[in-house]
Amino acid sequence: MTILVVEDEYKITRFIQRGLEMEHYTVDVAYDGEEALNKLGVNDYDLIILDLMLPKKDGIEVCKEIRARKIDAPVIMLTARDTIEDRIKGLDQGADDYVVKPFAFGELLARIRALLRREKTVKRSVLQVADLVLDPATHEVTRAGTPIPLTSKEYRLLDYFMRRPGQVCTRTMIGEHIWGYNFIDSSNVIDVSVSNLRKKVDGDLPLQLIKTVRNVGYKIIQEPR
């Protein structure tokens, strides 16, 4: 499951991101309304956590645009304002739930689970490239029916690649998505992580799915050749 966290306070963003990643969710972050809408234009998310007070475009505007684009991912709105008027305004623009700051992470997590359970009854998308299958609902990964045990980072890397088949993922994109905003790779950690993932996914199989794009990054093939 992939969640977009839109929050301009860095400490709160990292708090939510780390907590969700410990629960094995894949997390993208945005720090203002325009960045959030840009990411929503190129990525699919299972759920969106959206702060009300944001730079450039506030949460109400972003939520309104999300629904105008026919994006049906559930939206949890975060706000320091605990007024009936603000809640009504957010819900009227398409938010599914409201969490008032400060909040306990356990409460946020429970609300996320409840909304995702509701969505799961409507749709369940399994990612597949050739004979490689990733089930976001169970976090199970198989190749030709054989289970592949992955670490949390490896799972998030593979999920990131499989949601972008044929698309080149630069090291900057990978670093910011997996390790966090403004990630700087000074120790080849990305190359090492992808290499470990490739050993588990491709091994010595004749069909190698994860490809290196020299001097740029990596991609997973779109169609077997």
pLDDT in tens, 147-168: 999 988 898 899 889 988 898 9
| 182/137 same-domain check | yes
| 113/98 same-domain check | yes
Q: Which residue has the higher pLDDT, 1 or 66?
A: 66
| 169/194 same-domain check | yes
Instruction: Quote the pLDDT of residue 87.
Output: 66
Instruction: Quote the pLDDT of residue 182.
Output: 56
Per-residue pLDDT band at 180 (split at 50, 70, 90): low
Instruction: Quote the pLDDT of residue 31.
Output: 94
| Closest C-alpha among 225, 158, 164 to residue 196 | 158
Instruction: Quote the pLDDT of residue 122.
Output: 47
Q: What is the mean pLDDT of residues 32-52?
A: 89
Assign residue 206 the CATH number of its domain. Answer: 1.10.10.10
Q: Which residue has the higher pLDDT, 66 or 178?
A: 66
Question: What pTM, to 2 d.p., does this model score?
Answer: 0.58
Residue 40, phi-psi category: left (phi > 0), alpha (psi -120 to 50), beta (remainder): alpha
Range of the domain at 83: 2-120
Count of domains for the chain: 2
Look at 23-27, 161-165, 182-186 and tell me which has the smallest mean pLDDT.
182-186
Identify whether 147 is part of a domain: yes
| 13/106 same-domain check | yes
Q: What is the mean pLDDT of residues 171-200?
A: 80
Bridge partner list, 217: 170, 213
Assign residue 80 the CATH number of its domain. Answer: 3.40.50.2300
Per-residue pLDDT band at 36 (split at 50, 70, 90): very high
| 15/115 same-domain check | yes
58-72 pLDDT tens trace: 988 999 898 888 888
- Give the whole-angstrom CA distance, residue 142 versus residue 146: 5
| 165/101 same-domain check | no
Q: Which residue has the higher pLDDT, 23 or 118?
A: 23
| 19/116 same-domain check | yes
| 116/201 same-domain check | no
Identify whether 225 is part of a domain: no
Q: Which of 120, 142, 166 is the last residue before a domain boundary?
A: 120
Q: Alpha helix (H) ranges present in the chain?
A: 10-22, 33-42, 59-68, 84-92, 105-120, 152-162, 171-174, 189-201
| 94/43 same-domain check | yes
Identify whether 96 is part of a domain: yes
